[in-house]
Amino acid sequence: MYKPLLTFLIGLFMLGNTHAATIQDTVVKLKPRSQEWFQAKYGKDDTSKAIIDYFFLKRKKTLTPLLVSSGLSLAFAIASLVDPLGDRSAGESDSGPRWSLGIFFSVPVTVFYLFEYIKYSRKQLIRALQQYQSGKGVPNWLQRIPSWKKFLNNYI
């Protein structure tokens, strides 16, 4: 019973990966805002270069946990719908949500890393660099982060 569903999901996954690789190549060509691009355009002094490197480092560090936690959330949601462990007789009632604990822990982690990823977006990087280069200094929200202070001390 689950074999056609599993085959369909694997085929869909493979098709999505092929399509995503094609889209990714196109996006890279259309949006050249890489770390080197930011360094060339905004990297006039050491602090600007440190801000750029910090943002790209944080984005890189949050991407893997975001993808893993969102994948786990999706897997737990699918598992709760399919419930292959539910070998119950006709007279037995459901003993409770089996996958809710996984969803309970994976969804907040996904939301946390999603907000972290958005916080260190390229748009926020441009705002921080423009504020710094206009003479207002490093943004206050960035100065309050202990890892930024440590990164800056090691960078300069």
CB-CB contact of 150 with 143 (8 Å):
no
CB-CB contact of 76 with 82 (8 Å):
no
Q: What is the DSSP letter of 85?
A: T
The token duo for 139 is: 């943004």
For residue 52, what pLDDT is reported? 93
CB-CB contact of 94 with 86 (8 Å):
yes
- The number of C-alpha atoms within 13 Å of 93 and in the hemisphere containing its C-beta is 2
For residue 53, what pLDDT is reported? 93
CB-CB contact of 69 with 127 (8 Å):
no
Low-confidence ranges of the chain (pLDDT < 50): 26-30, 95-96
Taking the complete model, does pTM exceed 0.85, yes or no? no
For residue 81, what pLDDT is reported? 75
Alpha-carbon gap, residue 46 to 53, rounded angstroms: 10
For residue 86, what pLDDT is reported? 55
For residue 97, what pLDDT is reported? 61
CB-CB contact of 104 with 72 (8 Å):
no
